[in-house]
Structure formats: C-alpha cells, structure tokens
Amino acid sequence: MLEYKAARYGRTLTRVDRAFPSSQVCSACGHRDGPKPLHVRVWTCGRCGTRHDRDWNAGVNIKHEGRRIRAAAS
C-alpha cells in the first residue's frame, strides 16, 4: 500500500530493516539502551538522561535511518 501511495504523490519509499532497533536507541544521543518489555511505554536514556515516549522515539529513529539509507544509496 505504501509503495503505490508514494508513487501517486511523487515520493520516495525507503525500506528500513525490520530488525533495526528503533525503540532501543536514544534519538537524542544515539546510545543503545537495550531491549525493553512492551509494557514499558516511557524510558529515560542512561547516558544523556532524555526521557522518551517509546513510539515517538522509534519514529524519529526510523526517519533518521531511512534518510541515512537514502544518502548512502546516492
């Protein structure tokens, strides 16, 4: 579904590996904090102290990884 919508609106779709640890990495400093149980919705980075909403943080990390993949392909 995303492929045809991206094509319809002239966008580029970049696939990020399913195994990418998007909810384990601090989007502020890049520290990998490790896996967390699914019931943990908010966590604090052990290195920089930034408090993260799990889903928001994962979204930011996926966006950055997609941009990194696209830049590497160019």
Instruction: Give the integer Cα–Cα distance in Å for 74 and 8.
Output: 22
What is the model's pLDDT at position 74?
A: 84
How large a percentage of the chain has pLDDT more than 90? 99
Q: Is the pLDDT of residue 50 over 90?
A: yes
Structural domain boundaries, residue 53 = 2-73
Per-residue pLDDT, averaged over 18-45, amounts to 96
Instruction: Give the integer Cα–Cα distance in Å for 74 and 71.
Output: 5
Domain count, the chain: 1
Structure-model confidence comparison of residues 10 and 74, the more confident one: 10
Instruction: Give the integer Cα–Cα distance in Å for 16 and 68.
Output: 10
Q: Could you tell me the pLDDT band of residue 7, with boundaries at 50, 70 and 90?
A: very high
CA distances from 46 to 2, 9, 33, 50, 71 (A): 35, 40, 7, 8, 29
Q: Is the pLDDT of residue 19 over 90?
A: yes
Per-residue pLDDT, averaged over 8-32, amounts to 96
